Structure 1
Amino acid sequence: MNRIDIVYGGRPYSLGGRTVASVQEELATALAAGRPYWLRVNSGEGRIEDAYLLIAPGISVVLVNTKPNGNGADVGPEPDNAFMRDVL
């Protein structure tokens, strides 16, 4: 399974079953809308524990692709409805 590690406020979080490109698109769309956006991520180590990160201008977010293929591209399928535009 594909996993993206996220560093936010100096703390680690993660997203499973997503691609870096889809998360980048989600965040860019949220920022373009001009309103704050809450990104649901996992904060648990070894267990699912939802956390919500505030995405807004001036807040630093780092995405780390932990399962890239040999040339650095994302691998793995994107699950249906992983990025739900209707919540933006």
Structure 2
Amino acid sequence: MNRVDIVYGGGQYSLAGRSVESIQNEVETAVESGKPYWLRVNSGGGRFEDAYLLIVPGVPFAILNFKPNTNGTDIDLEVDGAFNQDVL
């Protein structure tokens, strides 16, 4: 099952079974509507815990496409050579 991680206001959340594109479309539609919108996400590290993120202009929001290695457990931080160890 695919998973997309979301960083919102400095906290990390996730959505399973969704694509980056579907989340982008949902967030763009919410922002364009001009009305407050609550995005339901998972906040639990090992179990599902619902959290609701208020989607409004001005709140830092990032979508991270989780890609496991071939063993299915680790994140590949060398995607497109973008990972820079010196930044950490």
TM-score scaled by structure 2?
Answer: 0.74
Residue 3 of structure 1 pairs with residue 9 of structure 2 = no
Q: Which runs of 5+ in 2 are unaligned?
A: 69-78, 80-88
Q: Which has the higher contact order (CA 8 A, sep 6+)?
A: 1
Deviations 1:40-82 (A, max 9, x none): 00000110000000000111101000038xxx8xxxxxxxxxx
The number of residues matched between the two structures is: 69
Structure 1 stretches (4+) deviating beyond 6 angstroms? none
| Structure of larger gyration radius | 2
Aligned pairs for 1:1-88 (under 5 A) are 1-67=1-67
For the aligned residues, what is the CA RMSD?
Answer: 1.5
What is the TM-score of this pair, normalised by structure 1? 0.74
